[in-house]
Amino acid sequence: MTQARRKLVAGNWKMNGSLAANAVLMASLADGLRAFKGADTAVCVPAPYLAQVGALAASTGIALGAQTVNEHGAGAFTGEVSAGMLKEMGCRFVIVGHSERRALYGETSAQVAAKFVAAHRAGLEPIACVGETWPERQAGTTEAVVGAQLDALLDAAGESAWSAAVVAYEPVWAIGTGKTASPAEAQAVHAFIRSRIAARYPASAASLRILYGGSVGAANAAGLFACADIDGGLVGGASLKAADFVSICFAASNQGAQ
């Protein structure tokens, strides 16, 4: 598989931040990434801060993203946010199917697929998360679990959706734990993901960016990003520390297509 894909480093702030803290973080990122062109960068922020962070990011080259989206267009869904609203607020990306949403809020793979389609229809690029738990890995079912999560997306979304989408492989056991999949372990699953998608949509699979997520930090990013099928990172904890996030972006810029 050729490496013509430009890397993407996306921060997932999760439910963290405040108006004051966001302003400080974005000022540091703007400074650290001034004139940076080596990779695409994004921050996925809590919905109430989209306007603030969007304004702060506007002249920086850092794209804006959200962390979830409702699968419906509009209506009686109290508390929810639609893809059209996210688009209107300036989002380029939206994370769908993060393992925390699957585990804590009961999101099913079918629902995640509907969110993926809704995001695409609104002109957003979904970042679809897949990944296995530790017991699933121990049982040797990683490919079965990740394959089923992908199949739900593939069944729901046609080729046009895949040409502007991102997949994030996030082993649940590596998220926020400090335990990272080794580059070889991650690469193996990334290659599996690409081949699963290639079986239906070969052209889209070749250009699809597959991010690794799970305790990505300044120290391990370069090793992960050097792998043939790892096209960047979805970064949680380290995305809240400007120096770490900037280092991770630079690690991406030294690998692959620029």
Interface residues toward ligand PGA, by CB under 6 A: 12, 170, 175-176, 213-216, 234-238
Q: Which is nearer to ligand PGA, 12 or 149 (CB)?
A: 12
- Least Å distance, CB 184 to ligand PGA, is 19
Q: Is the dihedral of CA 125, 186, 171, 15 positive or negative?
A: negative
- Least Å distance, CB 7 to ligand PGA, is 16
CB 38 within 8 A of CB 155: no
What separation, in Å, do the N-terminal and C-terminal C-alpha atoms of the chain show? 17
Annotated catalytic residue, options 71, 98, 125, 190:
98
- Least Å distance, CB 242 to ligand PGA, is 15
Residue by residue, DSSP assigns 94-125 as: EEES-HHHHHHH---HHHHHHHHHHHHHTT-E
Q: Which is nearer to ligand PGA, 77 or 179 (CB)?
A: 179
Is 170 among the catalytic positions?
Answer: yes
Task: For residue 214, count other CB atoms closer than 10 A to its CB.
Answer: 26
- Least Å distance, CB 4 to ligand PGA, is 25
Is 98 among the catalytic positions?
Answer: yes
Q: Which is nearer to ligand PGA, 38 or 213 (CB)?
A: 213
- Give the residue from 69, 79, 181 showing the smallest Cα distance to 125: 69
Distance CA 83, CA 117 (A): 10
Q: Which is nearer to ligand PGA, 170 or 229 (CB)?
A: 170
Annotated catalytic residue, options 125, 132, 170, 190:
170
Which residue's Cβ lies closest to ligand PGA? 236
CB 115 within 8 A of CB 156: no
Q: Which residues are catalytic?
A: 98, 170
